[in-house]
Structure formats: structure tokens, C-alpha cells
Amino acid sequence: MKRTGAQIFVESLKAEGIDTIFCYPGGATLNITDALTDISQINQVVVRHEQAAVHAADGYARASGRVGVALVTSGPGATNTVTGIATACMDSIPMVVFSCQVNTMLIGNDAFQEADIVGITRPCTKHSYLVRDVKDLAKIIKEAFHIAASGRPGPVLVDIPKDVSSAVADFKYPEKAVIRSYQPTYVGHLGQIKKAMRLMLHSKRPVLYTGGGVILSNASQELTRFAETLSIPVTNTLMGLGGIPGNHPLFLGMLGMHGTYAANMAITESDLIIAMGARFDDRATGKTDEFAPHAKIIHVDIDPTSISKNIKVDIPIVGDTRNVLTQMLKIIEEEKETYRQYHKDIAEWIDKINQWKKDYPLTYQRNDILKPQHVIERIFELTKGKAIITTEVGQNQMWTAQFFKFLKPRTCLTSGGLGTMGYGFPAAIGAQVAFPKSLVVDIAGDGSIQMNIQELATAVQYDLPVKVVILNNGFLGMVRQWQQLFYEKRYTWTHLHSPDFVKVAEAYGAVGLRIEKEADVDKVLKQAFKNKRPTFIDVHVSPEECVYPMVPAGASLKEMLLV
């Protein structure tokens, strides 16, 4: 059947089962926006800035496990997506971004609103396409969704020139994507897995170090069962939080720069690290030469490039984390007695770790001034952990990682790899669109929230009851912390003047609340969580509070500054 490119676009999205796109219109999108008029199967959320469209698609994807979709116009519309695409790329988030482009005849002519967006985003996409012929459009869209969601997921960009969206072609959506050069490995090599399991039986101080791969491959149940069956303690990276319940007895807390004492010491004294879907990021490892100095390393990852990139690995296993864990659990099932004994063999190690946990818990000093950590603890208690939490970047993000005990996967949405300020609020909007009935809370700083504060209009327009808790300390807190610790308290550029957030919320038609003392925390938070409207909660917290423990940059994990 003959269709225009714009109709092919719409039909292809329907064929992929896409229910939501985050978008912003422009001249080059007109054919497509027109074709989307009256299409009720696809929820169209128009944001206020293209960066937010991509973050919202990202939040939607992280929370739901489905592919996020954004659609923007050419030139500045497309270039505004770069930060969002890079954020998704660093955290391996499945996403397809459709940018529109000037007419094919004009490409390369410095036409009005023209940008070589395929070229600009090449280093931060998993793959990208410029559609030159309407006949290729359906095939390219099929491939784009396949590439975005399979293997190590990531963002794919499809650039559609305006004349391609108006040209006509036969439409038949391909059933399969066939890409001869792209065949990810999903199942781990059994020989390597057996070798890894034998190595494990010889270790006395094993630690599971798990990352975002566990969340992306939906392996958290398998991970928890694996850890429980053998009593192996687990530490998560920031991206891995929720992979094992945050209140699980075997959970050590996050490791790394702001990780717990128990996690960092366990890594340092371990004789075997079992890394699952984690990539040995520098924020997690500290000084790489002194990372796990006594340990052999088993590394499970779907992406071969992650293996032995930063840390030399003894046993690499390329495969999907969930598949590999299932394969490992099968071996344990077959040799129950051996593994039951192993469980006993490492009891001494578990005791040692429990002692660390007891002696050096995450803590902060309580005094008259309201502490941000307390606010996060209360959010956890009042929601009983049943909330989707997004964060911005900086102190708010680290305190959330430390003090909110993520009980389930896909409830911690945070920009781990790129560290993008301004991510949390639009991501919360995306998550709220995916789960309209869930409580979605963005834990923000006064600096970060101002990077995409305009999205309050989107939240109000679409009636998305997102709660934004602004830990307002009057500073760019994390940069200020570094200035305090390493630059003799010379707070250059970090003291921010902020608007009255309550009035800002009200001006947009949202609810604005304020907390100034500890006694009001519960009351105001309860009030916020109960109301069904987008809400800003401006929380005035201690201005010079620092995130501890802290491993200074370039130091080893055992060199922690405690409170």
C-alpha cells in the first residue's frame, strides 16, 4: 500500500508497539506532526526543550524497560538532543531519537536550520542513520529499534529529511531486522562459566560487584538468588542500585568514591571479585592499580569492549547477565552439596563484613540545622521504598544513593556515566508517563533543578503529579565540597542565587511547598505525596554539609575520608 514517509513513520511506530513519544515540533517535523494528528495509540508528550524530550524518553525507558522514543526538528532541535543522547549512551539506555532534517537537496548547503546531526552525535550513539530514500524508511526504523534494544542497549538516531517524510513509497513493515554485522552474544561460554565457578569454590573472600547490566537485563531476581544461595556479599555501583534489595542482609551498599566503608573494604580485602554487568568505572574503582589488590576477577558483560578495559580480568564471560546467572544457578543446583559446603566455608568472611557494617554505618551528624540525609531517609520511610526516584547530579544524587534503600530494580533513575545535571526532572516526567499511578520523586539540588526547570510547564499541561524535592543549600554542593576539601574553601562560582521555588511552582500552575526545619519534614512530605498535582518542595538544608565517606580522586578505595 502506498504511504507517505510521515505515514510510514507512524505505522512503523505502531508496528513496534510504541505507546509514547516525547517531542518538540519545528518546520522540518511538520509532515510527521501532521500525520500524528488524531493518532490516539501514540501518546504525544510535547516538552519545552529538546534536551528534556530525550531525558524524558530515557526516564521512560529506565523505568519501564521499553525503548524510549523522542522526535525533534532539524538544526537547533537536533543539536539540543546531544546531552540527552550522550547521557543515554553512557548508561546504555535503549532509545530511538528521530531528528528531522532539511530537504535532501539542501543537505550540506548550510541551509536554514541544518545541522549534520548524524556527524555530531556519531561518538555518542550506538548507531545512527540518515534516511536518503523513503523506500528505506521502514527497514531503517526496524533496524533502529532492534539495535537500540538488543545486545548492550543504547541510543540510536534516525535523521529524516523533510522531503523523505512527504515522498511516497510502498509500505510493508519488515518482520525481522537482518544485520549481518551485528550479532550480540547472549549466552555465556559454558567452559568459561565452569572455570569461574571452580575459581569461586577456591575463594574465601568473594564479593559480587554488580552494575547497570543487572538492571538492564532484568537479572535482579537471579542475582539475589545467586547471592543468597552462596552467601556472597553484594555491592552495587550507582547504576546497579536496586539490583538486590537495599535492605538485604548481604547488601554492602554502594562502592566507590562515596561508597560505604564495608563495600570498599570488602573489595580491598577480597580474594575474588565477581563483576556482573559493571564496567569498572573510575568512580567505582578509585585508583585502579590498587583496586582489589588480592583478588582474581571474573567479569560477566554483554559488551566485550568492557572486559579488561580498565582492570585486567582473569576470567571473562561475554553474555547477558541474566542468562549467565541462570547458567550458574543451574550448575549450583546440580552440585548442591559442594555449594552448601562453600556457603559454610565463607562464614568467617561474612562475619568480618557484618562487623564493618556495624562499626562504620552510613551516618551524619544531627544538629539544629536540617540535614539533607535526614530528608532522604524520611522519603524512604514515608514511601516505604515504593516510589520511583530520579536524581539530578551532585550531592543530591550521592545522598540518595546512600540513604534511599532501593528495594526494586528500575526505581533508581540517575545519570551515572555522564553525570548530567538537569536529568532528573525530565526523567521523572518520562517515568510518570510510563507509570501514571506510581509516586515519582525527583531528588534535586537548587543548581540542577534550574537546568530544566521549564519542564514544570510540561508536568502541569499533562497533569503529571511529579514531586521534586529540592535540597536547597544555596550552592552547587558537590563542587563546593571539593572546594572546601581541596581548594581552601575558596567557593568560586559555586554560590548560587536561586528564585523562590515556591513562587516558581505557583507561577507555572503547580504546587509549591517549603520546609525550613526538621519538625516540618514529615508533615510537608506527606502533604506533597498525597496531592495529585506536580509539586516542588523547597527544602532549606545545611549549606555546608558534605557527602561522606569520600575517596579523594586518584586515591585507593581504602583511603576513605569518614564523617
Partner 1 sequence: MRHTISLLVENEFGVLSRIAGLFSGRGFNIESLCVAESLDPTVSTMTIVTTGNDAILEQILKQLNKLINVIKVVDFKDIDYVSRQMVLVKVNAEEKTRPEILRMVEIFRGKIIDVSSRSYTIMITGDEDKLKAFISLIKPLGIKELVRTGPIAMARGERLMKIKEKTDIKGGESNG
**Residue type at 268 in one-letter notation:** T
Minimum Å gap between C-beta 127 and partner 1 is 4
Regarding 19 and contact with partner 1 (CB under 8 A), the answer is no
Binding mask 102-121 for partner 1 (x = CB under 8 A): ----------------xx--
Could you give the CA distance from residue 470 to residue 481 in angstroms, rounded to a whole number?
A: 18
Of 64 and 354, nearer to partner 1 (C-beta) is 64
Could you give the CA distance from residue 135 to residue 150 in angstroms, rounded to a whole number?
A: 24
CA distances from 367 to 279, 307, 520 (A): 39, 46, 15
Stretch that binds partner 1, among 44-52, 85-93, 144-152, 163-171 (CB under 8 A): 144-152
- Alpha helix locations (H) across 346-472? 347-359, 372-383, 395-403, 424-434, 456-461
Of 184 and 419, nearer to partner 1 (C-beta) is 184
Minimum Å gap between C-beta 338 and partner 1 is 28
Give the burial string for 344-368 (b: 16+ CB within 10 Å, else e).
ebbeebbebbeebbeebebebeeee
Could you give the CA distance from residue 172 to residue 30 in angstroms, rounded to a whole number?
A: 23
Task: Please check whether residue 220 is in contact with residue 326, taking contact to mean a CB–CB distance below 8 angstroms.
Answer: no
Minimum Å gap between C-beta 199 and partner 1 is 22
Of 119 and 249, nearer to partner 1 (C-beta) is 119
Other beta carbons within 10 angstroms of residue 562's beta carbon come to 9
**Which residue from 146, 279, 296, 467 is in contact with partner 1, where contact means CB under 8 A?**
146
Of 186 and 529, nearer to partner 1 (C-beta) is 186
Grid coordinates representing 490 are: 575558596
Q: Which of 154, 141, 22, 116 is nearest to 429 (CA)?
A: 22
Terminal CA-CA length for the chain: 68
Could you give the CA distance from residue 443 to residue 255 in angstroms, rounded to a whole number?
A: 21
**Which residue from 78, 130, 255, 429 is in contact with partner 1, where contact means CB under 8 A?**
130
Of 23 and 307, nearer to partner 1 (C-beta) is 307
Q: Which of 248, 254, 218, 219 is nearest to 232 (CA)?
A: 248
CA torsion angle 496 497 502 503 (round to 10) = -150
**Which residue from 2, 180, 384, 497 is in contact with partner 1, where contact means CB under 8 A?**
180
**Which residue from 323, 400, 448, 483 is in contact with partner 1, where contact means CB under 8 A?**
323
**Which residue from 89, 149, 459, 541 is in contact with partner 1, where contact means CB under 8 A?**
149
Of 268 and 323, nearer to partner 1 (C-beta) is 323
Grid coordinates representing 494 are: 559555586
Minimum Å gap between C-beta 309 and partner 1 is 6
| Cα 382–Cα 93–Cα 547 angle in degrees, nearest 5 | 45
Could you give the CA distance from residue 527 to residue 65 in angstroms, rounded to a whole number?
A: 30
Regarding 437 and contact with partner 1 (CB under 8 A), the answer is no
Regarding 142 and contact with partner 1 (CB under 8 A), the answer is yes
Close Cβ partners of 530 (under 8 Å, ≥ 6 residues apart): none
Close Cβ partners of 381 (under 8 Å, ≥ 6 residues apart): none
Stretch that binds partner 1, among 75-83, 172-180, 423-431, 450-458 (CB under 8 A): 172-180
Backbone angles phi and psi of 468, in degrees to 5? -115, 115
**3 state SS of 22:** strand
Of 119 and 361, nearer to partner 1 (C-beta) is 119
Minimum Å gap between C-beta 440 and partner 1 is 26
| Cα 56–Cα 60–Cα 65 angle in degrees, nearest 5 | 150
Residue 307 DSSP one-character state: T
Minimum Å gap between C-beta 263 and partner 1 is 27
Of 152 and 296, nearer to partner 1 (C-beta) is 152
**Which residue from 38, 110, 123, 532 is in contact with partner 1, where contact means CB under 8 A?**
123
Residues within window 282-311 making contact with partner 1, judged by CB under 8 A = 303-305, 307-309
Stretch that binds partner 1, among 125-133, 281-289, 454-462, 515-523 (CB under 8 A): 125-133
Just list the catalytic residues.
50, 112-113, 162, 478
Of 60 and 475, nearer to partner 1 (C-beta) is 60
Could you give the CA distance from residue 249 to residue 258 in angstroms, rounded to a whole number?
A: 20
Regarding 176 and contact with partner 1 (CB under 8 A), the answer is yes
Give the binding-site size for partner 1 (rule: CB under 8 A): 34
Regarding 523 and contact with partner 1 (CB under 8 A), the answer is no
Minimum Å gap between C-beta 57 and partner 1 is 17
**Which residue from 6, 45, 56, 147 is in contact with partner 1, where contact means CB under 8 A?**
147
Could you give the CA distance from residue 340 to residue 260 in angstroms, rounded to a whole number?
A: 29
Grid coordinates representing 18 are: 510504541
How do 2-4 and 168-170 pair as beta strands? Answer: antiparallel
Minimum Å gap between C-beta 388 and partner 1 is 23
Regarding 184 and contact with partner 1 (CB under 8 A), the answer is yes
Minimum Å gap between C-beta 260 and partner 1 is 31
Of 108 and 499, nearer to partner 1 (C-beta) is 108
Could you give the CA distance from residue 525 to residue 505 in angstroms, rounded to a whole number?
A: 16
Regarding 122 and contact with partner 1 (CB under 8 A), the answer is yes
Minimum Å gap between C-beta 345 and partner 1 is 34
Regarding 186 and contact with partner 1 (CB under 8 A), the answer is yes
**Which residue from 39, 105, 187, 563 is in contact with partner 1, where contact means CB under 8 A?**
187
In the complex, which residues of this chain contact partner 1 (CB under 8 A)? 16, 118-119, 122-123, 126-127, 130, 142, 145-147, 149-150, 175-184, 186-187, 303-305, 307-309, 320, 323
